[in-house]
Amino acid sequence: MLVAVQSRVNGGLSQQIGNGYVTAVVSFGSGLVVMCIAVLVSRRAKAGLVSLRAEVTAGRLPLWTLLGGAAGAAFVLGQGLVAPLTGLALFTVGIVAGQVLGGLILDRAGLGPGGRIDPTPPRLVGTGLAVLAVIISVGLDLAVSHAVWLVVFPVLIGVGVAGQSMVNGLVRAAARSAVTSTFVNFVVGTAVLAVIAVVSVASSGWPTEWPTSPLYYVGGIIGTVFIAVAAMLVRAAGVLLLSMSNVAGQLIASLLLEAGLPLAGGVSAAMAIGTAVALAAVVIASLPGRRSRA
Instruction: Give the chain's mean pLDDT.
Output: 82
* Close Cβ partners of 268 (under 8 Å, ≥ 6 residues apart): 141, 143, 144
Rounded to whole angstroms, the Cα distance separating 232 from 193 reads: 25
Tens of pLDDT along 165-210?
788 888 988 998 888 998 998 999 999 999 999 999 998 888 888 9
CA distances from 276 to 21, 126, 137, 185 (A): 32, 12, 10, 32
User: Which of 292, 285, 283, 294 has the alpha carbon at shortest distance from 121?
Assistant: 285
- How far, in Å, CA of 28 to CA of 38, rounded? 15
Task: Indicate the pTM of the whole model.
Answer: 0.77
pLDDT score of 173:
87
Task: Give CA–CA dist 57/79, Å, rounded.
Answer: 35
Kindly list the distances between the CA atom of residue 179 and the CA atoms of 34, 166, 236, in Å, as whole numbers in the listed order: 11, 16, 18
What is the rounded distance in angstroms from the CA atom of residue 192 to the CA atom of residue 109?
27
294 has pLDDT over 50: no
Q: Which tens digits make up the pLDDT trace of 41-96?
A: 999 999 999 999 999 999 999 999 999 999 989 988 888 888 888 777 778 878 87
- Angle formed by the axes of helices 88-109 and 152-175, nearest 10°: 50
Best CA proximity match to 11, nearest among 82, 75, 74, 70: 82
Cα 105–Cα 106–Cα 111 angle in degrees, nearest 5: 145
Displacement of CA 261 from its chain's centroid (Å): 21
